[in-house]
Chain A
Amino acid sequence: MADGQEKKGTVTLLSSLFSAKEAEKAVRRVQEAISDRQKELDCLREFLTDNKALIQHVQKLPEELSHDIMVPFGGAAFFPGRLIHTNEFMVLLGEGYYAERSAKQTVEILQRRGKSLEAQLESLKRVVKDLELEAKFFDSAATEAAEGVVHIREEYVEDAENQQPGTDKKNSEICEEEKEEEEYAKLMARLNELEKEEEEAGSDLAEDEYDETARTSDEYEEDEESEDEEEDTGYMNVKAKNHKNIYEEVPFPKARGPLKVQERSMQHDASKWSLHPSDQPSVHSKVHVFPTGSLENNLEQLHMTRNPSQPLKTNEYLQKAPNVQASSESSSSTSSSLGSSTERKAFTGSIIEHSYGLSLAQPTNSAASGQSSRPVSRFKLQKGGR
């Protein structure tokens, strides 16, 4: 699996480029800077309002010849006094310089001061705005990293896909039939059992599963399956879990005869897959299904098997499935011996990759995949191992 990932390494978690923690730290730092600036802003605003009040006061003073006031005397005492010379002010210019001014002149000085304060206020506001934008960016980056959003490099994907499929095809062509037959034989027995179960319980479950599968938004409809999947474009757009499902499903039925064709389509699709990390569980379940369905039962059976297999299987699959899963998942350990694994590898590898990258994002998938309890748990185990 690891090899497959490396080869196709088109998908990198954002969180691997920079940890969510670091992004959060950056956000916090910017927020601190913003709050500092905000304090300065508040301070400036206070100055401005004080200044305005002072201007009004100064304008009022010379209206009377004298004012009766209480003069502060020491810290706590006042005594009554009279304010005379109401039109003479000593204005502090700054740096210890005072000037004797009339009320009118004082107001002028104060207004000039107010203007400079306003200019400072404006520039500070702009700074705060910049900082807020920065914070927003960091924040979104952090959440993306935390959610497991994936960074995809298309060039790499295409290269990897093209190369791999080409090589795979040759091998796969030779080996396909052999391994398919063997696996199919194994799977067939299981499938039959499963099918029976499905038929029994399938009607309800099948519907459920279909819905879920349908959620996957697919632009690529290859078969009947595609129809189902298409319905739900909105659901996983971001994470595109369903895409995987679709792809997997589509290729599997075909897999039997035209493997090459499928592979190619897969390759093309793969880029899309990479974009949308799909559900791991769904993938597994389908993987299980695919060999049997494609071989024996054709499309109808496939549908049936898929639907019931995931939900119903749990017990039986647990017992029987291990082989199948192992073969399909781990680059077909069993199948590898057969030599036909190459094709599968391509599929599984891609699948695994996606799921791997997606792991963080999966919570949403898990809901859909909940039915296929078995595959999910398996996957988790694998992840944990890594």
Chain B
Amino acid sequence: MAASPALRELQHDLESQANALSKIQKDVAKNHQVRKQYTIQLGENELVLKELDLLNESSNVYKLIGPVLVKQDLAEARANVRKRIEYISTELKRLDGTLQDLEDKQSSKRDAVLKIQQRIQAVQSGKSKS
């Protein structure tokens, strides 16, 4: 059947839009996963910080670096953990921002795809009638 050039163009458009949409969806999924990981780490770090805060000043703290335990100053350990928590929370915020962005893009792309589909349908039905 001789699809009119307009129709072909629309279909082309639809394809490219759909591809973009699926790409965005993949990004969103990836983002979600990373975010999940970070939240888990954040929780763990908060637990560590709580425990560190409960320790006496005199108690020994070690950090596992590779195969060896390295003795660390308690204050230093606390500072390290705090810094890490800070880093993770800023990272989370950043991820939230990008996620929001991606989702906006996703919905707009979805709208675009829907619109193109409707147009194609309209064109096709118009043709079949005529």
When distances are taken between beta carbons in the complex, the residues of chain B under 8 Å from A109 are 51, 54
Query: How far, in whole Å, are A97 and B44 apart by their CA atoms in the complex?
Result: 11
Q: Which residue of B45, B47, B50, B62 is within 8 Å of A90 (Cβ)?
A: B62
- From DSSP, what is the main secondary structure of chain B's interface residues? helix
B59 and A99 within 8 A (CB): yes
Say if the beta carbon of B61 comes within 8 Å of chain A: yes
A95 and B51 within 8 A (CB): no
Given contacts A99-B61, A99-B62, A101-B59, contact A94 B69 (CB under 8 A): no
Query: How far, in whole Å, are A99 and B77 apart by their CA atoms in the complex?
Result: 11
B45 and A94 within 8 A (CB): yes
B61 and A98 within 8 A (CB): yes
Say if the beta carbon of A93 comes within 8 Å of chain B: yes
Q: Most chain-B Cβ atoms within 10 A of its Cβ — which of A94, A101, A116?
A: A94
Q: Which residue of B41, B50, B63 is within 8 Å of A98 (Cβ)?
A: B63
A96 and B61 within 8 A (CB): no
Say if the beta carbon of A36 comes within 8 Å of chain B: no
Query: How many residues of chain B get a CB closer than 8 Å to chain A's CBs?
Result: 22
Residue-wise interface mask of A (98-120) relative to B, using a CB-CB cutoff of 8 A (1 in contact, 0 not)? 11110000000100110010000
Query: How far, in whole Å, are A71 and B59 apart by their CA atoms in the complex?
Result: 27
Which B residues, 75 to 129, have Cβ-Cβ distances below 8 Å to chain A?
A: 77, 81, 84
When distances are taken between beta carbons in the complex, the residues of chain B under 8 Å from A93 are 47-48, 51-52
B65 and A97 within 8 A (CB): no
When distances are taken between beta carbons in the complex, the residues of chain B under 8 Å from A96 are 63-65
B63 and A116 within 8 A (CB): no
Residue-wise interface mask of B (42-74) relative to A, using a CB-CB cutoff of 8 A (1 in contact, 0 not)? 001101101110110001111111000100100
| Minimum distance in angstroms from B80 CB to a CB of chain A | 9
Q: Which residue of B47, B50, B60, B81 is within 8 Å of A99 (Cβ)?
A: B60
A99 and B45 within 8 A (CB): no
Query: How far, in whole Å, are A116 and B50 apart by their CA atoms in the complex?
Result: 12
When distances are taken between beta carbons in the complex, the residues of chain B under 8 Å from A99 are 51-52, 55, 59-62
| Minimum distance in angstroms from A158 CB to a CB of chain B | 35
Query: How far, in whole Å, are A54 and B72 apart by their CA atoms in the complex?
Result: 26
Query: How far, in whole Å, are A97 and B64 apart by their CA atoms in the complex?
Result: 6
| Minimum distance in angstroms from B72 CB to a CB of chain A | 8
When distances are taken between beta carbons in the complex, the residues of chain A under 8 Å from B62 are 90, 97-100
When distances are taken between beta carbons in the complex, the residues of chain B under 8 Å from A100 are 59-62
| Minimum distance in angstroms from A44 CB to a CB of chain B | 13
When distances are taken between beta carbons in the complex, the residues of chain A under 8 Å from B61 are 97-100
When distances are taken between beta carbons in the complex, the residues of chain B under 8 Å from A94 are 44-45, 47-48, 51
| Minimum distance in angstroms from A369 CB to a CB of chain B | 41
| Minimum distance in angstroms from A108 CB to a CB of chain B | 8
| Minimum distance in angstroms from A275 CB to a CB of chain B | 36
Query: How far, in whole Å, are A93 and B64 apart by their CA atoms in the complex?
Result: 11
When distances are taken between beta carbons in the complex, the residues of chain A under 8 Å from B41 are 95
| Minimum distance in angstroms from A137 CB to a CB of chain B | 26
Query: How far, in whole Å, are A112 and B52 apart by their CA atoms in the complex?
Result: 13
Q: Which residue of B lies closest to A100 (CB)?
A: B60
Q: Which residue of A98, A112, A116 is within 8 Å of B64 (Cβ)?
A: A98
| Minimum distance in angstroms from B32 CB to a CB of chain A | 15
B84 and A95 within 8 A (CB): yes
Residue-wise interface mask of A (199-227) relative to B, using a CB-CB cutoff of 8 A (1 in contact, 0 not)? 00000000000000000000000000000
Query: How far, in whole Å, are A281 and B116 apart by their CA atoms in the complex?
Result: 47
B81 and A95 within 8 A (CB): yes
When distances are taken between beta carbons in the complex, the residues of chain A under 8 Å from B55 are 99
Q: Which residue of A lies closest to B69 (CB)?
A: A98
Query: How far, in whole Å, are A96 and B44 apart by their CA atoms in the complex?
Result: 11
Which A residues, 43 to 99, have Cβ-Cβ distances below 8 Å to chain B?
A: 90, 93-99
When distances are taken between beta carbons in the complex, the residues of chain A under 8 Å from B81 are 95, 97
Query: Would you list 24 pairs from A and B whose C-beta atoms are within 8 A, ordered by A residue?
Result: A93-B47, A93-B51, A94-B44, A94-B45, A94-B51, A95-B44, A95-B81, A96-B63, A96-B65, A97-B48, A97-B64, A97-B81, A98-B62, A98-B63, A98-B64, A99-B51, A99-B52, A99-B61, A99-B62, A100-B60, A100-B61, A100-B62, A101-B59, A112-B51
Identify 5 new A-B residue pairs, CB closer than 8 A, beyond the known A93-B48, A94-B44, A97-B72: A94-B45, A94-B48, A96-B65, A97-B77, A99-B60
Residues of A within 8 A of B (CB): 90, 93-101, 109, 112-113, 116
